[in-house]
């Protein structure tokens, strides 16, 4: 079954499903700042443990978490190799591990937050700016699609890389980038169709 162009929300009753959207977004922001401001082996290890526990508590399916990580596998491998060469294995773990943890935490957010709840929350926050010409609904939807598009784009990248490898073309940038761009553009068009079906995006 094809993924919905508006995200991969999984209904549930976990604590993450019940948390307000604002609390989850704030948590992501705080943990991102912590990963940068308190960079170190202990911090990265704690973030990875927290991300793994959060996935379990939120009921994130193993396949979904694997797809999210597979999409960044090549980039993370190259980054880890470069950091190991330049500054050693410990620094590579700190940098790459933190990024992996944040990808998993973002996956928890998209898995437990429906588009409707996100749009409603951001619309409320932007309500006071409506008199200044801001359209809260469109801004909220754009923000939610941006957040949800990250894991999906990473998953598409992973699938495209695997397809190129299966054809023996893993060393050909063209065999990887061309299908990737086509699939991402196709997803963007599907998203546009979904927006029009909801009556949004038309002036």
For residues 22 and 122, give the distance between their C-alpha atoms in angstroms, rounded to a whole number. 8
Is residue 158 within 8 A of residue 73, CB to CB? The reply is yes
pLDDT band at 152 (very low <50, low <70, confident <90, very high): low
Q: What is the model's pTM?
A: 0.67
Tokens of 174: 């063209």
**Per-residue model confidence (pLDDT) at position 170:** 63
Q: How far apart are CA 130 and CA 100, in angstroms?
A: 38
Does the structure show a pLDDT above 50 at 89? yes
| pLDDT of 137 higher than 70 | yes
In the Cβ-directed half-sphere of 193, how many Cα atoms lie within 13 Å? 8
Radius of gyration of the chain (CA): 19
As a whole number, the mean pLDDT across the chain is 79
178: tokens are: 């061309």
Token readout for 40 is 């170190």
* The predicted structure's pLDDT at residue 115: 76
Q: For residue 125, what are its two tokens?
A: 């926050």
Cβ partners under 8 Å of residue 28, min gap 6: 102, 105, 106, 109
Residue 122 contacts residue 146 (beta carbons within 8 Å): no
Neighbour count for residue 94 (Cβ, 10 Å) = 21
């Amino acid at each position: 079954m094809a993924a919905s162009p508006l995200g991969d929300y999984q209904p549930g009753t976990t604590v993450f499903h019940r948390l307000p959207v604002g609390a989850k977004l704030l948590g992501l922001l705080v943990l991102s700042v912590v990963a940068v401001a308190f960079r170190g082996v202990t911090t990265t290890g704690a973030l990875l443990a927290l991300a793994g526990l959060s996935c379990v508590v939120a009921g994130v399916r193993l396949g979904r978490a694997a797809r999210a990580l597979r999409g960044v596998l090549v980039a993370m491998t190259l980054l880890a190799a470069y950091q190991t060469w330049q500054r050693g294995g410990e620094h590579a773990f700190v940098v790459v591990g933190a990024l992996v943890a944040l990808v998993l935490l973002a996956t928890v957010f998209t898995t437990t937050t429906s588009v409707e709840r996100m749009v409603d929350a951001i619309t409320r926050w932007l309500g006071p700016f409506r008199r200044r010409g801001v359209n809260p609904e469109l801004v909220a939807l754009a923000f939610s699609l941006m957040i949800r598009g990250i894991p999906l784009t990473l998953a598409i990248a992973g699938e495209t890389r695997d397809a190129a490898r299966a054809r023996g073309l893993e060393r050909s940038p063209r065999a990887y980038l061309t299908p990737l761009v086509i699939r991402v553009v196709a997803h963007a068009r599907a998203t546009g169709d979904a927006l029009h079906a909801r009556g949004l995006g038309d002036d």
